[in-house]
Structure 1
Amino acid sequence: MTDQQRKMLLNVNLQGFGQRPAAWRTQDVAGTELTTAEFWAQLGRIAERGKLDAVFLADSPALGNPNLRPLGQVEPFVALQAIGEATEHLGLIGSASTTYNDPYDLAERLLSLDVITGGRLAWNAVTTYAENVSANFGIDQNPDRPTRYRRAKEFATVMRRLWETAATGERIRHRGEFFDLEGRLNVPPSPQGHPVIFQAGGSPAGRDLASATAEGVFTVELLLEPAIKNYRAVKEGAAAYGRNPDDIKITPGLSFVLGGTEEEARRRYDEMETLAPDNYTLNTLSDYLGEEIKELDPHQPIPTEILDREIDETTYHRSVSYHQGIVRWIRKNNTSLRDTLRNFGGYGARIIVGTPEQVADSLEEWFLAGAVDGFNLMADEFPRGLETFVEQVVPLLQAKGIFKTEYTETTLRGVLRSQGHRYPVSAASPTTTAEHVLSTAQRSN
């Protein structure tokens, strides 16, 4: 199969009732639906109807404020089991912390679910930086960033070695900085051998962890040219570890609000923003910048001294890659604080507010430019926004020849290896493509 014939990957990030904070207010839903198996099963059936590759569930093992944005009310792998029972082909990706789990226990639980779902499971390895999590585990504060990433790399190594014992039957003996164990799993191997490993993050430490361990990578990319650079860095990093760059797939997040016309999409976006909690966007941007900005003049650009300020990675509690990407994006679009807040609708992810055609064109441009192997979709509303994407955007991508019309693989690992690009990518004139995509994104926001 030539690179021109390969198809993009499409996963969907199931963010409760939707990526928009007010999504629960714009649909006929009850808050308790998030704790029912049928809610998750319905989303899985919709995604599979659209031939999407996988669903993804994030996790934060701490109590948040559901009045701001209701999500995360059940443990990810419990919801994924409900989705797995309702579907036949859909991949199932869930997050679990390397900071607050034990590798043997997690390896056994995840391989068991991978076996039961026929080889469709993936583990998204996260290092957990949230300050409100540590107390739940009896720890005064989270370990610093370098410690978390060293632990994560060793954790993933131990997980993979334990999973291999399911096939070999041999015991392992591991002595490292964080773990000292001897044993093997009693669970048999799954149809794909063991769960796929995903990783999220675009900081230098995150890219290194992904290059060393991951088969799929969730990234935050707001601009095309940095996305191309990150894509190449991760692929070349994998090669430096002796891995095949094609065995790691990169899927940045993409938020969208769809309308029959661009005007309709903007109206829907504005209505949902009006219903969001007071100052939600302002507070979120302040958090990512690590700087309080509510007293700034809304008619003036964000001051360069805020954008130029270096963050202390040892104390910054947010994702470093989010911070870097957002600052790059603001520098390119820094007309006024008011306009920045108006266009900051992805809360760190790229967002397109427009028609199905505009969304399909932008996905195509980024894919052909060699910036991505696919996307991690974030619909404005669940289930309604996902249904609209499946019914109106997927057929356009299929007509372009860049997204499959049928499932052909039986395991998630098979899906990842058969789709996305071959590296290095034969990109379709990246410079011209970048200019086109950026102009499209500006028109759509």
Structure 2
Amino acid sequence: MGLNAVIYGLGSHEAGWRMPESNALASTDLGYWTDIARRAEAGGFDALFLGDVLALQQSADRHLSDAMDPFIILSALAAVTERIGLIGTASTSFDHPFHLARRFASLDHLSGGRAGWNVVTSSNALEAHNFGLDAMPEHGERYARAADVTAAVLALWSSWQADARIADKQAGRYLDLAKVRTVDHHGQFVRTRGPLNVPRSPQGRPLLAQAGASEAGRDFAARYADLVFTVQADLAEAQLFYRDMKARASRHGRPPESLLIYPGIVPIAAPTRAQAEERLVQLNGFMVPEHALAKLSEFLGTDLSAAQLDDPLPPFVGAGAPSQSSQSRVAVLVGIAKREGLSLRQLLMRLASGRGHLLAVGTGAEIAATMQEWFDQGAADGFNVMAPLMPADLQSFVDLVIPELTASGLFNASGETLLRQRVQLGPA
């Protein structure tokens, strides 16, 4: 089983910044990031992952929305860690492939072969406005551009052979130009001549991760990704997604095992189940219902401002047109509400705690048992661990859950990172 620590802001719970223990301004403090990276590496995580959004989000007055550049943070973390993989988010909608290829290749060198790129298309209209667009292109066009940009990045990464640098001091030859080539990529959306001006990275190429769950997103991941990040809260639905992605990889001529499926899990671990449930209640107690309701309305494409919070989810919810950013999230959230009979208020709490990801509350043994079931039943190759509040809930997972996974033989906390094992199996 692989484990990836997801670090976005101060944790996965939107109200976590209001907790008494929280340093609400820590996201711009280098010590915050290095502390988390060291905890994750010491705990045995294969990788850590930084999300990103290229805009100050709506209702920024009610929740933490500022976000620093992942490249800057990951470069700093490369200097204070030795083994853990470093995955950062970058947009194919707003970044040129030469910049993307150069930055990630540079990070791979600085980290000794630990870099990964989470490929996103961007979807928020506020992001479009920041880059001079009136609106985001439609869903299919964004993925067509993503494929074009990714193909160009892969070509640039392969523009150097591994032994192109000869550094022959006696002969005065630094580079064997016969082993460096132009790429002359002329795509529908982007062009680049190449070659890259960074040598081939230690991994050959950085790892690729992707999180789209729409038809276009799934096909893109099956073609290019090593890791697929997915939102799943039901075992049967997760199994269907898992089988579908493995089959798609096969249809693209890839070994199914080269595509790893990582559902998100929001763990709240404590020595007793009662203590874990108490922490969830405390976290949810700091939720601002008006903000969560506005965010749910945006996800579902339905105005819920007049709905009664303690009534069941209105039957018309989900029938509206979802926003560009939530084509797959709508089905997850509506499915959770209907399957568990949640009131609107309870659904808001689920949205605040993890935006529809699998919520696991209990002892270390109970959470490990849930993870084992998903792993053994063909629903996951690993998990994106989304601690509600950093660093406390990450440390609770390390102290209480990882020993249970290790004892059962599911996880090797001291083993070689999954990044280095799997990138060799990925698409060329």
TM-score normalized by the length of structure 2: 0.90
C-alpha separation in 2, matches of 1:112 and 1:389: 32
**Alpha-carbon distance change, 208 to 183 in structure 1, aligned in 2, over 3 angstroms:** same
Correspondence for 1:17: 10
- CA deviations 1:405-442 (Å, max 9, x no partner) are 31335x72325679xxxxxxxxxxxxxxxxxxxxxxxx
Could you say which residue in structure 1 is the equivalent of 2:331?
Answer: 324
CA contact (8 A) 1:235 1:245 kept: yes
- The reply on whether 1:61 has 2:54 as its aligned counterpart is yes
Supply the distance in 2 between the matched residues of 1:337 and 1:320 (Cα, whole angstroms): 20
Pick the aligned partner of 1:204 from 196, 207, 215. Answer: 215
Q: In 2 relative to 1, CA 398–19 (structure 1 residues): closer, same or farther, beyond 3 Å?
A: same
- Aligned to 2:79, the other structure's residue is in SS state helix
Kindly tell me: are residues 193 and 405 of structure 1, through their superposed partners in 2, closer, same or farther at Cα, counting changes over 3 Å? Answer: same
- 1:135-284 superposed matches below 5 A: 135-167=129-161, 168-284=179-295
What is the one-letter code of the residue matched to 1:57? L
Q: Show the counterpart of 2:43.
A: 50
Q: Which amino acid aligns with 2:307?
A: L
Identity fraction in percent:
35
1:103 pairs, out of 90, 97, 120, with 97
Partners of 2:27 and 2:99 lie apart in 1 by 26
**Alpha-carbon distance in structure 2 between the residues aligned to 1:373 and 1:68:** 36
* The one of 107, 112, 137 aligned to 1:113: 107
Structure 2: runs of 5 or more not aligned: 162-178
Q: In 2, are the aligned partners of 1:197 and 1:213 still within 8 Å (CA)? A: yes
CA distance in 2, matches of 1:263, 1:63: 37
How far off is 1:333 after superposition?
A: 2.0
Name the CA shift for 1:101/1:343 in 2 (closer, same or farther; >3 Å).
closer
Shift, 1:72, TM fit: 4.5
Report how many aligned residue pairs link the two structures.
Answer: 406
The one-letter code matched in structure 1 to 2:49 is F
CA contact (8 A) 1:94 1:124 kept: yes
Which whole-Å CA distance do the structure 1 matches of 2:196 and 2:394 have between them?
Answer: 38
Alpha-carbon distance between aligned partners in 1 of 2:60 and 2:347, rounded to the nearest angstrom = 26
Tell me the CA shift for residue 272 of structure 1.
1.6
User: What is the letter of the counterpart of residue 35 of structure 1?
Assistant: T
Q: Which residue does 2:72 correspond to in 1?
A: 78
TM-fit CA distance, 1:186? 1.8
* Shift in Å, 1:280: 3.5
- Which residue pairs with 1:41 in the alignment? 34
Q: Distance in 1 between matches of 2:287 and 2:332?
A: 24
Measured after TM superposition, the shift of residue 33 of structure 1 is 2.7
Q: What's the counterpart of residue 369 of structure 2?
A: 361
**CA offset digits 1:336-393 (Å, max 9, x no partner):** 3344334443222121222222211111110111101111011111111111111111
Cα distance, 1:405–1:58 mapped onto 2, change above 3 Å: closer
Q: Once the two structures are superposed, what CA deviation does each residue of 1:252-291 show, in whole Å capped at 9, x if it has no partner? A: 1111222322222222112222222343333332222111
Describe the shift of the 1:416–1:383 C-alpha distance in structure 2 as closer, same or farther (beyond 3 A). farther
Question: How has the CA–CA distance of structure 1 residues 342 and 278 changed in structure 2, closer, same or farther, with 3 Å as cutoff?
Answer: closer
The alpha-carbon distance between structure 1 residues 179 and 128, as it changes in their structure 2 partners (threshold 3 A), is same
> Does the Cα contact within 8 Å between 1:53 and 1:415 map onto a contact in 2?
no
Shift of the 269–67 alpha-carbon distance from structure 1 to 2, 3 Å rule, reads farther
Query: Displacement of 1:330 after TM fit?
Result: 2.3
- For 1:59, the aligned partner's letter is D
Q: 1:368-407 to 2 correspondence within 5 Å? A: 368-407=376-415
Q: Which residue of 2 aligns with 1:431?
A: none
1:305-333 deviation per Cα after TM superposition (whole angstroms, max 9, x unaligned)? 324x1636xxx232211112222222212
Match of 1:128 among 122, 125, 128: 122
Q: Is the 8 A contact 2:93 2:121 kept in 1?
A: yes
Q: Give the TM-score taking structure 1 as reference length.
A: 0.86
- Structure 1, 130-139 or 72-81: larger mean CA deviation: 72-81
282, 287, 290: which one aligns with 2:301: 290
Does the CA contact (< 8 Å) of 1:199 and 1:216 recur in 2? yes
The Cα of 1:398 is off from its aligned counterpart by 0.3
Q: Provide the residue aligned with 2:170 in structure 1.
A: none
Deviation at 1:141, TM superposition (A): 1.3
- Residue identity in the other structure for 2:26: E
Q: Which residue of 1 aligns with 2:321?
A: 311
Distance of aligned partners of 1:404 and 1:311 in 2 relative to their CA distance in 1, 3 Å threshold: same
1:442 is aligned to: none
Give the corresponding residue for 2:165. Answer: none
1:337 aligns with 2:344: yes
Q: Which moved more, 1:23-32 or 1:106-115?
A: 23-32
Letter in 1 for 2:134: D
In the alignment, is the contact (CA less than 8 A) between 1:89 and 1:407 conserved in 2? no
CA distance in 2 between partners of 1:264 and 1:302 (Å): 29
Q: Which runs of 5+ in 1 are unaligned?
A: 1-7, 419-445
Partner of 1:426: none
Q: Aligned letter for 1:365?
A: E
Write the deviation string for residues 92-136 of structure 1: whole angstroms up to 9, x where unpaired.
010100000100111111101111111100001100000101111
Moved over 4 A (4+): 415-418
Cα separation, 2, equivalents of 1:390 and 1:96: 28
Q: Which amino acid aligns with 2:64?
A: P
Determine helix, strand or coil for the equivalent of 1:234.
helix
Distance 1:54 1:68, change over 3 A: farther
